[in-house]
Structures are given as C-alpha cells and as structure tokens.
C-alpha cells in the first residue's frame, strides 16, 4: 500500500498530513528517507517516524490521560526525560497525542491511533474547544481580560477570539479560565505573558468537552463509544 495510507491507518496523521511529513523527509522506509508515493509492504518493510517503528494497524484506540507535570508529550527525548508514554501501562496500540502539552502543564491529553480524527481535532479550521485554568502572577483587570478575549498579538499574528474570566483570587494571584478554539505553540503562556501576567501553573480542564473527572494525575482510560462519536461529530466525521 502507499506510504501515506500506511501512515494514516497507523494513526500517525491523516493521508494529506502524512504526505507533508514525507515531503519534509521525516519518514524513513528501511533506513532510507521515504519518497512520496512509495509503496510499502507492512509485513516486510520497516517504517520509522520520529524514531519510532510504526506498526500497521486500523484505528481503534482512543484514550484520555490526566497528564501530571514532569512528563514530556513526545515519543523520545535526547535528554532522557520521562514521557507520557510511560504512563500508558497496558496500552499495546501505537497511539499519538492529540496536540501537545508543555512539560509542566497538567490535565487532559487525548491520544489515539485515528489519524484523521487527530488531524481534525488539532486543526484550527474545526475550532475544537479547549479550556485552560491558569494561575498567574497578579490579578488581571477587566481591561486585561477584554484584551485576552479580543486577541493579543503573538509573533505578529492576532489570537482568535477567546473567552476569558477571572475564576479566583488568592494571595495576590489570580486564576484565569481561558477557552480557546485554536492551539498555537505555548499559546496560553504566551497570551498571558503578553498581557503582563506570567503563568505559575497551567492545567487543561477539557478538550472537546472531555474532562479528566475521576482520573488521578498519571491515570488514563479508554473513551466510551459515545465520547468517540461525539468527538467525530464535532469535526464533521460521521
């Protein structure tokens, strides 16, 4: 089968996104950089992406993890730090994280081997809702919250409209709830730094409406059929 189909089936990315990974030279087949359109035989050929051998497989694994701080969302780390994959005890499928959380961020992380769903859940076009709680230095004024809602400039590009409210004040620090529909790199930290309130603690409370209720930090569970259908529905997959 064609390499892009193999990667999509294995949950690495959608076929289109897999094409881009191949064009960027990030995929190897039997040690050689893969060329677009090359065919692979899953029983014979070894396909490697990001240092991991990719197993052939139909999508079918959907997990939610309550990520503790101190775990990287990455398959491997040259500095040998712990990764979230170490927390997935008992999971045999090769799953991929849906978006990223920073090393020190807590909370909801979805993982799946369904490449099409993964692609759509993280693509700004589908605007899937992500809710964050951030403890920040200082208490943001109403005007600051308005700026967060309307958008701040990050690397010259305005952030999309968001919801922002102060949920708690304690010991001179504020807790802010931010609801985003896009996922730029380190977006919450950058937005709060841009309005003068650096983050002290960051937690993702929900992704696409799914929360980690009942999961202790470091624990995971399979999504229910209803939860999977709901996610697929949100991004136009039936």
**Could you list the active site residues?**
102
Query: What does the binding site for ligand URA look like in residue numbers (CB under 6 A)?
Result: 101-102, 105, 186-189, 202
Least separation in angstroms between residue 187's CB and ligand URA is 5
Token representation of residue 173: 């620090």
Token representation of residue 225: 């059929």
Task: Specify the residue, 36 or 209, whose C-beta has the smaller distance to ligand URA.
Answer: 209
Least separation in angstroms between residue 198's CB and ligand URA is 11
Give which of 237, 227, 199 is closest to 102, Cα–Cα: 199
Least separation in angstroms between residue 159's CB and ligand URA is 11
Task: Specify the residue, 182 or 227, whose C-beta has the smaller distance to ligand URA.
Answer: 182
Task: Specify the residue, 102 or 177, whose C-beta has the smaller distance to ligand URA.
Answer: 102
DSSP string, 167-211: EEEETTEEEEEEEES---TTHHHHHHHHTT--EEEEEEEEETTEE
Please give the Cα distance from 161 to 178 (Å, whole number). 11
């Amino acid at each position: 089968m064609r390499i892009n189909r193999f990667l999509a089936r294995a949950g690495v990315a959608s076929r289109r996104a897999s094409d881009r990974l191949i064009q960027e030279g990030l995929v190897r087949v039997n040690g050689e950089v893969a060329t677009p359109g090359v065919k692979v035989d899953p029983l014979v050929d070894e396909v490697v992406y990001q240092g991991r051998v990719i197993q052939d497989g139909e999508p079918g694994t959907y997990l939610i993890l309550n990520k503790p701080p101190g775990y990287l969302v990455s398959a491997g780390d040259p500095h040998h730090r712990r990764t979230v994959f170490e927390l997935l005890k008992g999971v045999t499928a090769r799953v991929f994280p849906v978006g990223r959380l920073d090393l020190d961020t807590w909370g909801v992380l979805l993982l799946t081997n369904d490449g099409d769903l993964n692609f759509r859940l993280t693509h700004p076009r589908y605007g899937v809702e992500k809710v964050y709680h951030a403890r920040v230095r200082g208490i943001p004024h109403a005007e600051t919250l308005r700026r967060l809602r309307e958008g701040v400039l990050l690397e010259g590009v305005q952030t999309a409209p968001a919801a922002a409210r102060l949920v708690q004040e304690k010991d001179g620090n504020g807790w802010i709830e931010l609801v985003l529909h896009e996922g730029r790199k380190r977006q919450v930290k950058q937005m709060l730094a841009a309005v003068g309130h650096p983050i002290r603690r960051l937690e993702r409370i929900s992704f696409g409406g799914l929360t980690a209720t009942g999961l202790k930090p470091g624990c995971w569970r399979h999504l229910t059929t209803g939860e999977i259908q709901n996610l697929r529905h949100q991004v136009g997959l039936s």
